Chain A
Amino acid sequence: MSIYSMWGALEIGLIFGLVALGVLISFRVLNFPDLTVDGSFPLGGATAAILIHHGMDPFMATGAATLAAGFAGMVTGWLNVRLKIMDLLASILMMIALYSINLRVMDAPNVPLITDPTVFTVLQPPGIEDYVARPLILLALVVVAKLLLDWFFATQVGLAMRSTGSNPRMARAQGIRTDNMVLLGMAISNALVGLGGALFAQSQGGADISMGIGTIVIGLAAVIIGESILPSRRLMLATLAVVIGAVLYRFFIALALNADFVGLKAQDLNLVTAVLVTVALVIPLAKQRLRKKRA
């Protein structure tokens, strides 16, 4: 594998690290299976791309994209808590709706960003190759995002959100408005995913209507791989674990696709993902069996 592919894997891995943090919040903290991300990831990408294309400053565009995706997540939450639609179904409805919405946002199946300024071109330090600078910038961002989340979940509101996912009946008995907690959590979760989408579009040269397909799978793969590498109930370690999981996932994919002797091609990506996640799920079981044999 070339050094270029390695940095590329790190770059995309870190972007998916943001997605993984978002999926961690909805899936693990709120116990809300959320497929909205397949729509909010491209919403972030589409919003950022179209705004940049029309001349907006890339940072503002990225911010707007994040807010838009967060709002989409809130709508999913609203469908669930106000209209009493089952969580998974609500997220699927939103995902489907977003497909059309994203096409509307882009007014086309894709929006290229070739010569336009991006957050990366603006932040590009002289003397470092761009394919090295991008992952480093992303690393800084992901670290900040992770630390912010760790801080948030240690606050009273964050704890209230965690209890909403863990035991909503008890949470309500403690005076917590679980409905609002779901809305807030879904907003934050999808905002992170949308941010990932916006950065993905800017690093990959554009937004595309199909860029979101399978986002939930990638997010879950990252969470599961992370949890099997670094099992811990402590949220601070879980946030670290899922980011590591996302990066590792991309590395494995890159390795698999670059390994000529196996003959894998881009269309085998989903199969490779499925195999990887299965292996990751089996690792804790295998560890247990090994321990029992030794004992």
Chain B
Amino acid sequence: MNANESPLRAEPVLRTRGLAMDYGQGAGRVHALDGIELEVTPGEALAVMGPSGCGKSTLLHVLGGLERPSAGEVWVAGRRIDGLSEKALARLRRRAVGFVFQAFHLMDELTAVENVELPALLAGRSSGAARRRAAELLERVGLAERASHLPSALSGGQRQRVAIARALSNEPLVVLADEPTGNLDSVATLDVLRLLDSLRSAGQTLLIVTHDERVAATADRLITMRDGALVDETRLTRGTSGSLGDLVGLER
């Protein structure tokens, strides 16, 4: 199931209704998510912004099946996931969802290509097929010549690109990225942005949680969260019609 096969009726890749997530008891009860209604169409890049503690990471975890919501419904590709068993959720993560984390979360003792082939191996594919796919993906993110490097020999931006390659391993319906540029300097940020942009152009559905406006600016749609609720939605227009001079503020 690839986001590239454009369905006739755009069935949302992700959908939530009344999603809520609570932590703690009594006086210490925290509403991490408070009645979220959300839809993500295939091929769309959605950015989620908000101050820290607003629940955007929690939203991501719930959408990816890493946490179970306290209330509400979540659909992934038309299939309801909020009540699934851990085993089924694992299968979901294998097939439909790819994760990118702020801290990269690469295995320190595996080379780049070994890290990227991991989801395919966990999904039961043969070691040869997994390795080939991993090599392809590393090529795609521009790190083919670093395939046998350990993460400690890679820069922050390179590590995150390896992590993105890993997320693409099982051709997921959607890539969920949690502050992908949070640990990166501005140069590395640009590299990752470029990659995310190229993914978007290729039709990959993306959901990016970020507090960096530059990252959000590469999306098609931006939603803002505050205190667990969606408070704003902006459609970011595509394309730039003006010249460089217009952008920079030099006029004719």
Q: Do A and B come from one complex?
A: no
Q: Which B residues fall within an 8 A CB radius of A?
A: none
